[in-house]
């Protein structure tokens, strides 16, 4: 088994490692990982690996070294389980590696659940694998890239509406050029009637891109934070940049009705115990909104809503996304490095094919 290891104390330090594949036990299946996406979402997984628990999904067995989760497709190549026969293909949560051993149980329809002991107490949404019909490499690439990101965007939009936008008059979306940020802008642009204006916050270099693609009512660059209108606001932070957060909180103070932390793509400028004016930021955990909507709407409905939503936004992806497929696990090293250092272009969508 070949895998990419990340230094848990410095997530820019990465190495490729190889260990022998373990023989299967009764009830297990081995999946060859064939295609997965790498985005700033994966950098957030690494940056919050201990805080949120992402390091626990695929333990490396080496102290101080973690395996970052990715979203993608794998095919069963060996099986001692009736629930995952050889040749079946599954979309889901994988290690940044070339194989995964699971202990599948049926969940109804095309879904199986990995009930491997160490995953039993982890959020169920990450342990589900969906049996897939054959797709083209481009279709698999787009799903690996966009389904998890746009699912989060949709859940954020739903959560804001569910909370009446916290009685705010404007929603400010930090790092609006990120795919999750852009998705949230697009979902909020669909809301009608909408009681809030939507402001995209981005760098000067990405302003034209966000202006053209987001559907925001206005786009403000980081240097102009102090020009934001002083009205009741919600801040949705995709980047975790401590300086940006400090300035925005100082500018709006108690006019901030809620401050939400979603991503840490600017992980190197993240300060978890930062002293801020106004409300204390709260981490948005998408699985919590999924579970709430399951209770509100009944089993299966939130999943149907998410699928419909991400496919709707992805339908014009060619206008705002350049799909870039790289061959071989070693190709993940420079892609991960660029993402971790904030050097990836917002239009680029990176997929690794094995």
What does the pLDDT look like over 184-208, one tens digit per residue? Answer: 999 999 999 999 999 999 999 999 9
Domain spans in the chain, listed from the N-terminal domain onward: 2-134+321-353, 148-289
The highest-level CATH class for domain 148-289 is alpha beta
| Mean pLDDT, residues 34-41 | 95
Closest CA to 49 of 70, 72, 71, 66: 66
Rounded to whole angstroms, the Cα distance separating 186 from 348 reads 18
Let me know if the fold of 2-134+321-353 is the same as that of 148-289.
no
Rounded to whole angstroms, the Cα distance separating 180 from 186 reads 10
| Mean pLDDT, residues 252-281 | 77
Q: Which range among 39-43, 150-154, 264-268 shows the weakest confidence by mean pLDDT?
A: 264-268
Closest CA to 284 of 259, 301, 249: 259
Checking if the pLDDT of 270 tops 70, the result is no
Q: What is the Cα Rg of the chain in Å? A: 20
Could you tell me the pTM of the whole model?
0.89
Burial bucket for residue 25 (CB in 10 Å: 0-12, 13-18, 19+): exposed
Rounded to whole angstroms, the Cα distance separating 199 from 294 reads 30
Checking if the pLDDT of 327 tops 80, the result is yes
Rounded to whole angstroms, the Cα distance separating 177 from 214 reads 8
SS3 36: strand
Checking if the pLDDT of 269 tops 70, the result is no
Give domain 2-134+321-353's CATH number out of 3.40.630.10, 3.90.180.10, 3.90.1720.10, 3.30.465.10.
3.90.180.10
pLDDT digits 0-9 by tens, 141-151: 999 999 999 99
Checking if the pLDDT of 336 tops 50, the result is yes
| Mean pLDDT, residues 157-179 | 96
pLDDT digits 0-9 by tens, 54-89: 999 999 999 999 999 999 999 999 999 999 999 999
């Amino acid at each position: 088994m070949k895998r990419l290891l990340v230094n848990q104390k410095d997530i820019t330090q990465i190495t490729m490692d190889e260990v022998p594949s373990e023989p299967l036990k009764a009830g297990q299946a081995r999946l060859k990982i064939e295609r997965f996406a790498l985005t700033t979402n994966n950098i957030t997984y690494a940056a919050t690996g201990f805080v949120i628990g992402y390091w626990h999904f695929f333990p490396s067995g080496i102290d101080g070294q973690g395996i970052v989760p990715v979203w993608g497709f794998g095919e069963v190549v060996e099986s001692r389980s009736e629930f995952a026969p050889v040749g079946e293909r599954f979309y889901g949560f994988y290690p940044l590696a070339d194989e995964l051993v699971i202990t599948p149980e049926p969940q109804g329809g095309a879904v199986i659940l990995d009930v491997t002991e160490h995953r039993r107490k982890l959020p169920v949404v990450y342990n589900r694998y969906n049996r897939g019909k054959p797709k083209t490499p481009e279709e698999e690439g787009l799903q690996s890239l966009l389904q998890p990101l746009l699912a989060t965007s949709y859940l954020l939009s739903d959560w804001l509406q569910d909370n009446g936008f916290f009685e705010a008059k404007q929603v400010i979306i930090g790092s609006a050029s990120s795919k999750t940020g852009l998705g949230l802008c697009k979902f909020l642009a669909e809301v009608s009637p909408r009681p809030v204006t939507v402001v995209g916050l981005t760098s000067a270099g990405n302003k034209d891109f966000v202006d053209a693609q987001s559907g925001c009512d206005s786009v403000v660059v980081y240097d102009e934070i102090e020009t934001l209108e002083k009205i009741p606001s919600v801040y949705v932070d995709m980047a975790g940049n401590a300086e940006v957060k400090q300035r925005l909180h100082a500018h709006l103070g108690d006019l901030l009705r809620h401050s939400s932390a979603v991503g840490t793509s600017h992980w190197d400028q993240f300060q978890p115990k930062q002293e801020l004016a106004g409300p204390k930021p709260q981490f948005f955990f998408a699985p919590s909104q999924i579970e709430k909507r399951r209770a509100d709407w009944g089993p299966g409905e939130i999943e149907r809503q998410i699928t419909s939503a991400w496919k709707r936004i992805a339908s014009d992806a060619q206008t705002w996304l350049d799909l870039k497929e790289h061959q071989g696990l070693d190709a993940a090293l420079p892609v991960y490095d660029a993402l971790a250092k904030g050097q990836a272009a917002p239009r680029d969508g990176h997929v690794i094919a094995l």
